[in-house]
Chains A and B, each alone.
Chain A
Amino acid sequence: MSMNLHLTLTSADWLALFVHFMSLSLLAIGGAITTAPDMHRYLVGEQHWLSDAQFTSSVALAQASPGPNVLFVALLGWNVGINAAGGPGAATAWAYGGLGVLVTMVGIMLPSTTLTFAAARWGHQNRELRAVRAFKQGMAPIVIALLIATGWILAAGNAGETGQWPLWLLTAVNALLVWRTRVHLLCLLGAGGLVGWLGWV
């Protein structure tokens, strides 16, 4: 791939990458994707460890593949590793790619999952406390609205690229289908992929 960079990472660089992702972990309220702008600033702008194209395609691919969206972080780490190995054809590409995945994923997950585990356990053990119930039930309308807003923002991001109403219509129809019917979600995604493949949206 022509968009690859060739670079040399010292162990101090790997440590810096790990520490940077650890520090972003506790800031990732609302999901790891909320820290993507800072990852871009650090990896592409400041350190030049990734090209712009590598960053963008990592995020898009993680969105399009199954599993939690946080896996875009794994792809970022993989690409940093590939660049450090000297490109995808290098003999050590997979080893360095794996190291990149390990460093970025453990960095982004370890602090937040440790905190979540402890806080959620405390909350569950004290679930009859008035303050705990007030927090969970008071937040309910807000987090439900956040879901609808996330759908809206993703739809606006999609349609913004082409400025076309068919994408909005596709999103709205699928929102209604999920809300009102029990159609299998994979059927909906497959249909969406087909409609796009045929160039209708």
Chain B
Amino acid sequence: MPHSELPAAQAQPESLSDLFWSFTRLALQGFGGVLAIVQRELVDKKKWLTREEFVEDWAVAQILPGPNVVNLSLMIGDRFFGLRGALTALAGMLTFPLLIVLALAALFAGVADSPHIQGALRGMGAVAAGLIAGTGLKLIAALKQNPMGAPVCYALAAITFIAIALLRIPLAWVLLVIGGSACAWTYRQLGALHQIKPTP
């Protein structure tokens, strides 16, 4: 499918400070990982990205080394304001959370043994796991637009889940074998689509 047929994102950040505070807000809401919040805020609410753009950027952020959400904020910041935007988004993502985690470490030293605190951490951990899985389930809808076709995508997703979650195969192998095959197949499909239906 030609890129131009995908609906473009409707909105964008107004300024560097809008970008900084938006990412600070995202980071401060993200307990146990920020991805669920990024999807909800930037795609569903602010509409800086479409669901499809988000999945594509997320793929790049995931494949490259480094913290995924940090990579994603660099890419989004760069998209709107270049290098300054990338650094601003990065600063927003890290500054306040860093101060908070250091403060928590100081406080935690006194209460680490309380069963209530341990219980609360355990409960929040279980919820955080659910938030990440639920975000994945929600993004499945984005696969309907995929040139491989939805059934092939669902099958690839199922195989990947089994390989990583149940068989615990190292990520590098999964990306190389399953990811490599999927990219090769998509490349073929894009060529076939191009011949049947040339880009207008």
A residues adjacent to B (C-beta < 8 A):
1, 25-32, 34, 57-58, 60-71, 74-75, 78-79, 88, 97, 101, 105, 109, 111-113, 115-117, 119-121, 123-124, 127-128, 130-131, 133-156, 158-159, 161-162, 167-168, 170-179, 182, 185-186, 188-189, 191-201
Contact = CB atoms under 8 A, between A and B. Distances in A.
B182 interface: yes
Contacts of A67: 27-28, 30, 34, 93-94, 96-98, 100-101
B139 A192 contact: no
A43 to B, nearest CB: 16
How extensive is the interface on chain B, given as a class? 35 or more
Given A64-B125, A71-B97, A189-B31, A174 B130 contact: yes
Instruction: Decide if the interface of chain B is mainly helix, strand, loop or mixed.
Output: helix
A152 B167 CA distance: 12
A164 to B, nearest CB: 10
Given A1-B109, A141-B153, A170-B130, A136 B59 contact: yes
A179 B137 contact: yes
B22 to A, nearest CB: 14
Instruction: Decide if the interface of chain A is mainly helix, strand, loop or mixed.
Output: helix
Contacts of B90: 113
A141 B123 contact: no
Interface string B165-200: 100000110110011001111110011001000000
B65 A112 contact: yes
A142 B175 contact: yes
A147 B29 contact: no
Contacts of B172: 29
B37 interface: yes
Contacts of A153: 164-165
Nearest to B28: A66
| 3 nearest A-B pairs in the assembled complex, by CB-CB distance | A67-B97, A196-B123, A151-B133
Contacts of A197: 116-117, 119-120, 123
B121 A60 contact: yes
A78 B108 contact: no
